Amino acid sequence: MLVLCCGNPDRGDDAAGLLVARRLRKLGIDCLEHSGEGLSLLEAWQGADEVVLVDAVVTGRPAGAVSVWDALAAPLAGWPLPGSSHALGLAEAVALGRVLGRLPRRVTLYGIEARRFELGKRPGRALLRGVVEVAKRIRADGADRRPPV
């Protein structure tokens, strides 16, 4: 199983995925930090059978709330954050992967509800609760562990 944790360390709660990655490593679970840029996500999960994605989301739930989606079951349209970019986001990567037949057999998305995205701000406390919960759930879901040192 490939765990891809997406985020931006300089944009407040948008760091959610990266914070989960750091926590997973402490738990002995292999994962990759990723910017969330869609085209490179397509490359990152190429050849993987099962992928777990972690990212900040905005759905209107309280900050730090955790949502889980089967990314292959339904389009993630409307899920990505508002804005625009040269780069595709995670939801667009899944959508493009679906059209091109470039999706792993299983893609699970853990979304942590985010609220503040200001440049240079630290993640909010409420978000951190979601970070802890997602790390625990990924471990419980059976992510690979590093061999003991």
Which residues would be at the binding site for another protein (CB under 8 A)? 35, 37, 39-40, 42-43, 82-88, 92, 95-96, 99-100, 119
| Phi, psi dihedrals of residue 33, rounded to the nearest 5° | -85, 145
**How far out from the chain centre does Cα 62 lie?**
18
Q: For residues 42 and 114, which CB has a smaller minimum distance to another protein in the complex?
A: 42
Tally helices (H) and strands (E) across the chain: 4, 5
Closest contact distance (angstroms) between CB of 100 and another protein is 6
Tokens of residue 76, six digits: 């993630």
The residues near 78 (Cβ < 8 Å, ≥ 6 apart) are: none
Closest contact distance (angstroms) between CB of 82 and another protein is 7
Closest contact distance (angstroms) between CB of 121 and another protein is 12
Q: For residues 84 and 149, which CB has a smaller minimum distance to another protein in the complex?
A: 84
Q: For residues 86 and 105, which CB has a smaller minimum distance to another protein in the complex?
A: 86
Tokens of residue 120, six digits: 């240079």
